[in-house]
A and B are shown apart, each in its own frame.
Chain A
Amino acid sequence: MSEGATATDAIAASPSLPAGETTMGELARRLRTNSEYFAIPLFALFVAAALFSLFLLTLGRSPVDFVSYVWRGGFGTAFSLQNTLQRSAPLILTALAVAIPARIGLIMIGGEGALVLGGFAAAAVATPLVGVLPPLPTLAVMFVVGTSVGAAWVGLAGYLRYARGVNETIASLLLTYVGVAIMNFFVEGALRDISNPNKPSTKPLGEAYMVGKIPGTEVHWGFAVGIALAILLHLLMTRTTFGFAARITGGNFRAALAQGLPVGKIILACTMIAGACAGIAGFYEVAAIQGRANASLAAGYGFTGILVSFLARHNPLAIVPVAILFGGLVASGGLIQRRMELPDATVLVLQGLIFIVLLTSETLYGRFAFFRDDKSGRRQ
Chain B
Amino acid sequence: MNGALAIVLIAMLGGAIRVSTPFMFVALGECLTEKTGRVNLGQEGTLVLGAMVGYAVSYRSGSPWAGVLAAGAAGSVLGAMHGAICRLPRVNDVAVGIAMMLFGVGVAFFFGKPYIQPTAPRLGSIPFGAFSDDANLRSALDVNPLFFVGIAVALVMAWAFANTRWGLVARTVGDSAAAARAMGISVDWVRFLATAGGGFLAGIGGAFLSLSYPGSWNQGLSSGQGLMAVALVIFARWSPLRCVLAALLFGGAGAIGPALQSIGVTQGYYFFNAAPYILTLVIMIATSSATRSARDMPGELSTVK
Q: Are B90 and A363 in contact (CB under 8 A)?
A: yes
Nearest chain B CB to A167 CB, angstrom units: 5
Whether the Cβ atoms of A363 and B96 lie closer than 8 Å is no
Given A160-B285, A185-B274, A345-B113, answer yes or no on A359-B99 (Cβ-Cβ < 8 Å). Answer: yes
Q: Which listed residue, A167, A169, A303, A356, touches B288 by the CB 8 Å rule? A: A167
Q: B290 and A162: CB pair below 8 A?
A: yes
Write the B2-15 contact mask toward A (1 if CB under 8 angstroms, else 0): 00000000000000
A174 to B232, CA, bound (A): 13
The CA-CA distance from A167 to B302 in the complex, in Å, is 11
| B109 / chain A contacts, CB cutoff of 8 Å | 343-345, 348
In the complex, A214→B154 CA distance in Å? 60
Could you count the A-B residue pairs with CB atoms below 8 Å apart for me: how many are there?
A: 146
Whole-angstrom distance between the alpha carbons of A166 and B282 in the complex?
A: 10
Contact A351-B106, Cβ < 8 Å, known A177-B274, A356-B81: yes
Interface size on B, residues (CB 8 A): 47
Residues of A within 8 A of B107 (CB): 345, 349, 352
Say yes or no: A170 contacts B277, CB within 8 Å.
no
Whether B274 and A348, one on each chain, are in contact in the complex, defined by CB atoms closer than 8 angstroms, is no
Contact with B along A346-360 (1 / 0, CB 8 A): 101111110110111
Contacts A164-B290, A165-B289, A355-B103; A181 near B274 (Cβ below 8 A): yes
C-alpha gap A118/B105 in the complex (Å): 25
Decide: A349 and B284 in contact? CB cutoff 8 A.
no
Give the segment of B173-181, B223-231, B236-244 that binds chain A.
Answer: B223-231
Are A185 and B271 in touch, CB under 8 angstroms? yes
Taking CB atoms, residues of chain B closer than 8 Å to A107 are 92, 94-95, 98
Chain B residues positioned under 8 Å from A345 (CB to CB)? 106-107, 109-110, 113
As a 0/1 sequence over residues 23 to 37 of chain A, the CB contacts with chain B under 8 angstroms (1 = contact) are 000000000000000
Binary per-residue interface labels of chain A (306-324) against chain B in the complex, 1 for a CB within 8 Å, 0 otherwise: 1100100000000000000
Q: Which residues of B contact A307 (CB under 8 A)?
A: 99, 102
Interface of A is mostly: helix
Contact of B288 with A166 in the complex, beta carbons under 8 Å:
yes
B237-292 contacts to A (CB < 8 Å): 270-271, 273-274, 277-278, 280-281, 284-285, 288-291
Enumerate chain B residues within 8 angstroms of A169, measured Cβ to Cβ.
41, 94, 98
Q: Which residues of A contact B270 (CB under 8 A)?
A: 181-182, 184-185, 188-189
Residue B138 at the chain A interface, CB threshold 8 Å: no
**A165–B305 touching, CB < 8 Å:** yes
Contact B91 A306 (CB under 8 A): no
Bound Cα distance from A362 to B275, whole angstroms = 38
Given A177-B224, A184-B270, A184-B273 in contact, is the A355-B284 Cβ separation under 8 Å?
no
19 further contact pairs, Cβ within 8 A, besides A165-B305, A185-B271, A310-B95? A165-B289, A170-B231, A178-B277, A181-B277, A182-B270, A343-B109, A345-B107, A345-B110, A348-B105, A349-B106, A349-B110, A351-B102, A352-B102, A352-B103, A356-B81, A356-B96, A356-B100, A359-B99, A362-B92
User: What is the interface of chain B, defined by CB distance below 8 A to chain A?
Assistant: 41, 81, 85, 88-92, 94-96, 98-100, 102-107, 109-110, 113, 223-224, 227-228, 230-231, 234, 270-271, 273-274, 277-278, 280-281, 284-285, 288-291, 303-305
Chain A residues with a Cβ under 8 A of chain B: 107, 109, 160, 162-167, 169-171, 173-175, 177-178, 181-182, 184-185, 188-189, 303, 306-307, 310, 342-346, 348-353, 355-356, 358-360, 362-363, 365-366
Give me 22 A-to-B residue pairs in the complex whose CB atoms sit less than 8 angstroms apart, sorted by A's number. Answer: A107-B94, A107-B95, A160-B281, A166-B285, A166-B305, A170-B231, A174-B280, A175-B277, A177-B224, A182-B270, A185-B273, A306-B98, A306-B102, A307-B102, A310-B95, A348-B105, A352-B99, A352-B106, A356-B96, A359-B96, A360-B85, A360-B96
